[in-house]
Amino acid sequence: MEERMKKRVFSAIQPSGMLTLGNYLGALKNWKNMTEDFECIYAVADLHTITVRQDPAAFRKQIYNTCAILLAIGIDPENVTLFKQSSVAGHSQLSWLLSCYTQFGELSRMTQFKDKSLKHADNVNLGLFAYPTLMAADILLYNADLVPVGADQKQHLEITRDIATRFNHIYGDVFTIPEPYIPKTGARVMSLQDPTSKMSKSDENVNAWVAILDKPEDIMRKFKRAVTDSDNKICVAEGKDGINNLIGIYSAITGKTTEQVVNEFEGKGYGDFKTAVGEAVVEELRPIREKFDLYISDKKQLEDIYFKGAEKADYIARRTVSKVMKKIGFVR
């Protein structure tokens, strides 16, 4: 295995629909923070996105938008490898190779396949079933040491580790076995209308989620309409999912502990608290929206960034694919 000065991190995000406050607080904000301590490789996972049918024009627009948002939150392409997944052929190549070392039963047990099959019953395709193998290829292609994971991605990292371990057992020390990375800060942001469910851009209720690029007035309206309980007491407790969610969001943005948040709003009602959370979110996202407008106005710059990032990623990827094929026995 190659020796590196810093541990390598790989992460990717799909360009499907508008990125939400949940994406930002749960992942993207930490992407920026991790660049200080790790060698970071970040991908826009456009290959993963087509497991669900996409409108071509909207798809292309969202690929540009996703890159612009990543730059707007502070990802520096001079210090980070940032690229489109589809621009590096190694992702598709290694995915096929690893699919021959992935068991049918392993894929059958993946909860995301079961969930998405129910949501998209008219399009239960092979890509949706084999999605975890492509994700494993994404990670193993760069011999990532660490992968930031949330609760809904742990199963995918587990199967990645299983595939890598199986391949290494057969052919020797080929892949780095990736470890999960749990960021020091972050929040699992729940729906504003159903706080027992994760905030999702696919939610048909537009008041349930906040987009990173939402206008301030829309953000305030959504928080003022956020579902809470009838207790009117701001504290963390079982059965208070709505308030628990709002406290988590406010805490993640302000850096205050749960106890500090509860003390700050002691004696105040839900109306005051919802307004405060909404205002904190507006101010957190304001500079991102402003920088986004600058980046998205220059498509050529975005294309150049994608291209340069893909060149760096492809150099690593080709070496990995070549090594894997040689180990399997392919003729050069």
What is the predicted pLDDT for the residue at 42? 98
Active site residues: 116, 198, 201
What is the predicted pLDDT for the residue at 332? 80
> What predicted TM-score, i.e. pTM, was given to this entire model?
0.90
What is the predicted pLDDT for the residue at 200? 87
| 77-109 confidence digits (pLDDT tens) | 999 999 999 999 999 999 999 999 999 988 888
* Closest to 15 in 3D by CA, of 71, 84, 78: 84
What is the predicted pLDDT for the residue at 1? 53
Which amino acid does the sequence have at 182?
A: I
- Which residues does the chain have with pLDDT short of 50? none
What is the predicted pLDDT for the residue at 324? 98
- CB proximity list for 107: less than 8 A, separation 6 or greater: 113, 129, 130, 132, 133, 159
Q: Which fold has domain 206-293?
A: Tyrosyl-Transfer RNA Synthetase (1.10.240)
Contact yes or no for 159/106 (Cβ under 8 A)? yes
What is the CA angle 215-17-127, rounded to 5? 170
Domain at 8-187+299-328, CATH from 3.40.640.10, 3.20.20.70, 3.40.50.620, 3.40.50.80:
3.40.50.620
Domain limits of the chain?
A: 8-187+299-328, 206-293
